[in-house]
Amino acid sequence: RGGLAVAAVDLGASSGRVMVGRLGPGTLELTEAHRFANEPVRLGATLHWDILALYAGVLRGLRAAGPVAGVGIDSWAVDYGLLDASGALLGNPVHYRDARTDGLADRVADKLGRERLYAVTGLQHLPFNTLYQLAAAAGTPQYGLAERLLLIPDLLAYWLTGEVGAEVTNASTTQLYDLHRRTWAAELMTEAGLRPELMAPLREPGTRIGPVRPETGLPGSPEVVAVASHDTASAVVAVPASGERFAYISCGTWSLVGVELDRPVLSEAGRRANFTNETGVDGTIRYLRNVMGLWLLQESMRAWGLTDPADLLRRAADRPAFASVVDVDDPVFMPPGDMPGRIADACRATGQPVPETPAATVRCIVDSLALAHRRAVRQAQELSGRHVEVVHVVGGGARNALLCQLTADACGLPVVAGPVEATALGNVLIQARAAGAAGPGLPELRALVRDTQHLIRYEPRGDSSSWAAAEARLERGNGPR
Ligand code: LRH
């Protein structure tokens, strides 16, 4: 057999890419067919995704990919498009960093009951959960006309195939999904004043969606296959772990830090620590926490008008550790805007030296992020009872040697960094499994990643007591979380 070639469409908050995965016996290769920027557009007061530009990038990428047997699509979570009765898109999808849920998210959560919401959905409280975005949209003319809601990967799959559906890993991030019944949480929606009929039939990763329509102009009508369409779920598939004693950090715009479990943890302590139970493949639960991630660095780079952080990271590595640390999860860092200024303000407000140069700001970001990784890895273990022996860093952050080393130091655990393209690999692997060319279980998929991809190991240096001290300082400065 000549092996299998499939295309993975992976849309991240700052860029999209179409990758081609090729599998043969014991081999797995990934090449980039096309990469394109994902630039949000502010129109009036609202921050939008430029969804047609993304669709055009996907088409261009699929054309560049050449002949493939399948196409899988994943993207960031929670965001959606609304369709009218004819299937036309009603307005541009709104960006999860838009301010429309400010204040409202708390009011809706209080009204529905935070404990009850957690018991049903298992989800952490994030202001941009689909539940709150929809609550903000309800009452608008657009919402009135809407007949269907499709999450971003499902929307693109609809445009490619004409088939509607809702893939479950991404559905589980909406706070509209009942974790126990594995259905849409219709009662909750009704109580929130939302229409459950908007939601599309659920589908599992690995199911066929349909062939690409000829109207797209793409040759060969490959089959679109549902993958783990939440990017983080795809990334977790491709964590090159053996056994279960591992934590993962899917490190890109966000750091998603957690463990993989076979059942949810719905404790009050977990709820208060804002740990989430997102659905993974094969009945797994991604028990994790959103840490603000490389967003702080990306947004600082944008403010400085720079694109490549390599030089700044090298200079940051030579600077003293812990000159200043900030709580990266502070909501002040969430919206786009002057990030270096907000970091300086946070240092000032907590009585710490204000970083004077970009390199000092970068050092502050990386120290603070490693500290947040430490806290989340420790909490994930305490809250779940799962003991971990290694931390896997996957995604773009695996390229950041300073962050990986400091994360190892802070956690007091070895870090295995890579693969950088874990999300696309997870996307490819679920398609390959559906075609009978990989698997059958997660252990076999992960062994293939381990055997074929470039990984770097970082051993923890020193003892982690200086990190405990920095953590205490942060908690004193910012009061209890
Ligand atoms: C990462 C991610 C994350 C979500 C956020 C909205 O790309 O999917 O898992 O919380 O975007």
* pLDDT tens, N- to C-terminus, the chain (481 residues): 469 999 999 999 999 999 999 999 999 999 999 999 999 999 999 999 999 999 999 999 999 999 999 999 999 999 999 999 999 999 999 999 999 999 999 999 999 999 999 999 999 999 999 999 999 999 999 999 999 999 999 999 999 999 999 999 999 999 999 999 999 999 999 999 999 999 999 999 999 999 999 999 998 999 999 999 999 999 999 999 999 999 999 999 999 999 999 999 999 999 999 999 999 999 999 999 999 999 999 999 999 999 999 999 999 999 999 999 999 999 999 999 999 999 999 999 999 999 999 999 999 999 999 999 999 999 999 999 999 999 999 999 999 999 999 999 999 999 999 999 999 999 999 999 999 999 999 999 999 999 999 999 999 998 888 899 888 888 765 533 3
Amino acid 481: pLDDT: 33
Amino acid 479: pLDDT: 38
Q: Is 96 in the pocket of ligand 1 (CB under 6 A)?
A: yes
Helices (H), 334-421: 339-349, 358-384, 401-411
Instruction: State ipTM.
Output: 0.99
Q: How far is the CA of 67 from the centre of ligand 1 (A)?
A: 30
Q: How far is the CA of 318 from the centre of ligand 1 (A)?
A: 32
Catalytic residue among 10, 74, 79, 231: 231
Three-state SS string over 182-208 comes to CEECHHHHHHCCCCHHHECCEECCCCE
Amino acid 477: pLDDT: 59
**How many C-beta neighbours within 10 Å does residue 160 have?**
26
Q: Is residue 27 classed exposed, middle or buried when 0-12, 13-18 and 19+ CB atoms within 10 A define those classes? A: exposed
Q: Is 368 in the pocket of ligand 1 (CB under 6 A)?
A: no
110 catalytic residue (yes or no)? no
Interhelix angle 358-384/465-478, nearest 10 degrees: 100
**How many C-beta neighbours within 10 Å does residue 34 have?**
20
Q: Is 76 in the pocket of ligand 1 (CB under 6 A)?
A: yes
Nearest CA to ligand 1 atom 7: 76
- The span from the CA of 153 to the CA of 430, in Å, is 15
Q: Is residue 37 classed exposed, middle or buried when 0-12, 13-18 and 19+ CB atoms within 10 A define those classes? A: exposed
Residue 414, SS3 per DSSP = coil
- The span from the CA of 206 to the CA of 227, in Å, is 6
Q: How far is the CA of 463 from the centre of ligand 1 (A)?
A: 32
Angle at 384 between CA 380 and CA 387, to 5 degrees: 75
Q: Is residue 365 within 8 Å of 315, Cβ to Cβ?
A: no
Amino acid 474: pLDDT: 80
Nearest CA to ligand 1 atom 10: 77
Q: Which two tokens stand for residue 32?
A: 């980039």
Beta strands at 390-394 and 246-251: parallel, antiparallel or unpaired = parallel
Burial 323-341 (b: 16+ CB within 10 A, else e): bbbbbbbeeebbebeebbe
Closest ligand 1 atom, residue 77 Cα: 8
Q: Which two tokens stand for residue 462?
A: 């020193």
Q: Is 79 in the pocket of ligand 1 (CB under 6 A)?
A: no
Among 132, 232, 292, the mutation site with the greatest number of ligand 1 atoms within 8 A of its Cβ is: 232
Q: How far is the CA of 219 from the centre of ligand 1 (A)?
A: 32
Kindly list the distances between the CA atom of residue 85 and the CA atoms of 49, 81, 154, 454, in Å, as whole numbers in the listed order: 22, 13, 17, 48
- The span from the CA of 430 to the CA of 445, in Å, is 9
Amino acid 2: pLDDT: 62
Residue 336, SS3 per DSSP = coil
Strands in 276-279's sheet, in edge-to-edge order, are: 276-279, 285-291, 255-261, 246-251, 390-394, 415-417, 456-458
Kindly list the distances between the CA atom of residue 216 and the CA atoms of 18, 59, 60, 149, 323, in Å, as whole numbers in the listed order: 16, 8, 11, 22, 54
Q: Which residues pair with 392 in a beta bridge?
A: 248, 416
Q: Is residue 145 classed exposed, middle or buried when 0-12, 13-18 and 19+ CB atoms within 10 A define those classes? A: middle
**How many C-beta neighbours within 10 Å does residue 390 have?**
18
Which of these, 230, 251, 256, 258, lies nearest to 168 by C-alpha position?
230
Q: How far is the CA of 38 from the centre of ligand 1 (A)?
A: 15
Closest ligand 1 atom, residue 79 Cα: 6
Nearest CA to ligand 1 atom 2: 76
DSSP codes joined into one string, 432-454: HHHTTSS-SSHHHHHHHHHHHS-
Beta strands at 177-178 and 183-184: parallel, antiparallel or unpaired = antiparallel
Q: What is the Cβ-side half-sphere exposure of residue 445, based on CA atoms within 13 angstroms?
A: 25
Amino acid 480 reads: P
Amino acid 282 reads: D
Nearest CA to ligand 1 atom 6: 77
- The span from the CA of 25 to the CA of 63, in Å, is 26
Q: How far is the CA of 447 from the centre of ligand 1 (A)?
A: 25
- The span from the CA of 368 to the CA of 249, in Å, is 15
Which of these, 255, 365, 367, 251, lies nearest to 304 by C-alpha position?
365
Q: Is 77 in the pocket of ligand 1 (CB under 6 A)?
A: yes
